[in-house]
Amino acid sequence: MPALNAFQVYKLLPQTNCGKCGEPNCMAFAVALLGGKKKVEDCPPLIEEAKYADKLKELQKIFAVSDEVESTGLVYHEEKCTGCGNCVMVCPEDVAASPLIAGGKGDVCDNVVFRVENGKAKIVNLEKCRRSGKEKTCRICEMFCGTGAIEIRMVGG
């Protein structure tokens, strides 16, 4: 359940259906953008025309993800996080790393995906995440994140 839908992205696009990006219309581009097939910079009018500067900024903020994150599709919005620790206690990798975490307590270990620091969850080792390996279907952290701070985007379908 991504927090962002194609229509919300569409609203931030030029909505001229010029076709310069290679997609038939802006809605298709929005879908492609969400699916990770296109990048914000692939829309020429958005970059070239000054009147879209605000929209471009907003879009770049939404889609600002590092290459590392893209491999798992895991996007973390820190400003929404309340530090409840649900992600730490549900993540199968975190639970396997420490019996304390499995029992609901905080623990300091290095081989975990999430850790709560300073009242916010923090992604410590993204490479430990199951989604970066074979198990692409795991999205338990997103399911248990009540605030919508963790979002999993389906990259590449």
Sign for the CA dihedral angle at 121, 123, 124, 128 comes to positive
Query: How many alpha carbons fall within 13 Å on the CB side of residue 21?
Result: 29
Interaction of residue 96 with other proteins, rule CB under 8 A: no
Pair 60, 46: CB distance under 8 Å: no
CB neighbours of residue 72 within 10 Å: 22
Q: Is 86 in the site for other proteins (CB under 8 A)?
A: yes
Binding mask 30-69 for other proteins (x = CB under 8 A): ----------------------------------------
84 binds other proteins (CB under 8 A): yes
**113 lies in the site for other proteins, by CB under 8 A:** no
Distance from C-alpha of 147 to C-alpha of 144, rounded to nearest angstrom: 9
Q: 156: which 2 tokens?
A: 């590449």
Selected from 43, 89, 113, 155, the binder of other proteins by CB under 8 A is 89
Q: Determine, following the binding rule CB under 8 A, whether residue 88 of this chain makes contact with other proteins.
A: yes
**138 is a site residue for other proteins (CB under 8 A):** no
Among 22, 24, 106, 156, binds other proteins (CB under 8 A): 106
Is 157 a binder of other proteins (CB under 8 A)? no
* Chain center to CA of 48: 27
Which residue bears the tokens 């097939």?
37
Residues that bind other proteins (CB under 8 A): 81-86, 88-90, 95, 100, 102-108, 115-120, 143-148
